[in-house]
A and B are shown apart, each in its own frame.
Chain A
């Protein structure tokens, strides 16, 4: 196992008395995509700024391919796409990329390839002011691919994009990861990233609540599967006394069970087929898993 590209150890950042980041430890390996999930104000952007060297940590350390943030080596290794970025409207896409290529001492010949990779070849010589939101975001991504970066920092790169643009966006990110770049991207929710990253880290109120693959998080959350039963008129009482669960109204019943007990419960329900009108099985969704991890921590804080 090689050393991780991004290595964050016990990082705390505070603004006055407020802790924006509290004891964060996180690594991202070469070729790995890690999604940082958290709602607004959870500390995602602050974490990025600490990695970029814009903010000085209170305690802890950040290392980018072995270099501290803000050093030349670290800045060459990192490319960044901020949450909100408005390129000058009167410049063309090609000029924007020429600007960042110049600052990163990358060759101008790479610009053609970059434009092609994000599908902006046709619009390359139009002013950015005429671009759609998706095109501007793709230009931002192209900018983040200049000079074969080793760590991509993408702050909510796909918020506000339509599903097709989002899909294309993640394809380009996957290509970059396949070439060996570490990718750290942030997002509002698990729904958005689905299975497009290798690992997920959930950040809430400046602290890491859970880190792992999507399957890990689902297992840790151990959320019940919910079976909603609609019984015939007047039969719901009898079903509840036999199977348990919550009564929603006169003929509807909700039963929670572990994923393993689901089949057995369904078989028992089958025995009451004559009084059933409908059965609906709901496995916990990605948002439920996210809510579980970020909310359970809130409750710990209140106690």
Chain B
């Protein structure tokens, strides 16, 4: 079992590396992180705030868009493409279990996204530190950002793989992945904003709304990072971070729940594939 998972893991990870996904994702994330860090540093000196804390707040807001997109792009073709090219039939003709295929692909692509995030944010952290220094609060915020980003990436890799196993055609998998990204990352927020503006202050705003926010993995990620910061001004939906009916850690629980659910759904779906 472990030998077979390791075999698929090695192939998938070296594919992600050779298709330049890891390099590309690292460069994109590092560029954005560095730009935000040095832009924030200009203001931070005036505000007398910790640069890493400031940057982790703005980077959390940006990562919500970028990381799901990178994770979905890396994973959407994984099953659908192999079904189309006939490669999956070959894999499934061996004694490998279907759940092993899904889990190994998930681990490899999750690792690829995770390595990119850790590299990019580590580079940024080490670029900022010697110039502006950082307090323990800033370093803690930065580590929280890295860890929760890796988790967010893993959730969306699992979503992408499950969609890929569901559609069995590359074109349909791509459409589903982009649609999912739009709904979870963009439209969901707009709908929530509309709802809170329409309902005003009341039980919806104080009791229903926070749960709707952490029900979405992207919002849960952002909420976790912003709610954990004390010294940074936040606005809009993120203003909610100040009046939560649950501790910020609950958002991590929500992400973990998403991860377990999508991996389970993906495995169930993989068992039904006729290659």
Interface residues of A (CB under 8 A from B): 49, 52, 54-55, 72, 75-76, 78-88, 90-91, 95, 98-100, 102-105, 143
Our pick among B6, B87, B89, B275 for the contact of A102 (Cβ within 8 Å) is B6
Contact B4 A102 (CB under 8 A): yes
From residue 74 to 95 of chain B, which have CB atoms closer than 8 A to chain A?
85-87, 89-95
Contact B85 A85 (CB under 8 A): yes
User: Contacts A49-B274, A54-B274, A90-B19 known; A100 to B95 CB distance under 8 Å?
Assistant: no
Contact A102 B93 (CB under 8 A): no
Nearest CB on A from B187, distance (A)? 35
Interface flags for B57-101 (1: CB within 8 Å of A; 0: not) read 000000000000000000000000000011101111111100000
Contact A100 B86 (CB under 8 A): no
Contact B274 A143 (CB under 8 A): no
Our pick among B11, B86, B93 for the contact of A99 (Cβ within 8 Å) is B11
Contact B95 A105 (CB under 8 A): yes
Nearest CB on A from B37, distance (A)? 34
Interface residues of B (CB under 8 A from A): 3-4, 6-8, 10-11, 14-15, 18-19, 85-87, 89-96, 274-275
Contact A91 B15 (CB under 8 A): yes
Q: How far is the CA of A76 from the CA of B8 in the complex (A)?
A: 18
Nearest CB on A from B90, distance (A)? 6
Contact B95 A102 (CB under 8 A): no
Residue of B nearest to A102 (CB): B7
Q: How far is the CA of A82 from the CA of B90 in the complex (A)?
A: 7
Contact A82 B94 (CB under 8 A): no
Nearest CB on B from A18, distance (A)? 15
Contact B7 A99 (CB under 8 A): yes
Contact B7 A103 (CB under 8 A): yes
Query: Which residue, A54, A72, A83, A88, has most C-beta atoms of chain B within 10 A?
Result: A88
Q: How far is the CA of A49 from the CA of B18 in the complex (A)?
A: 32
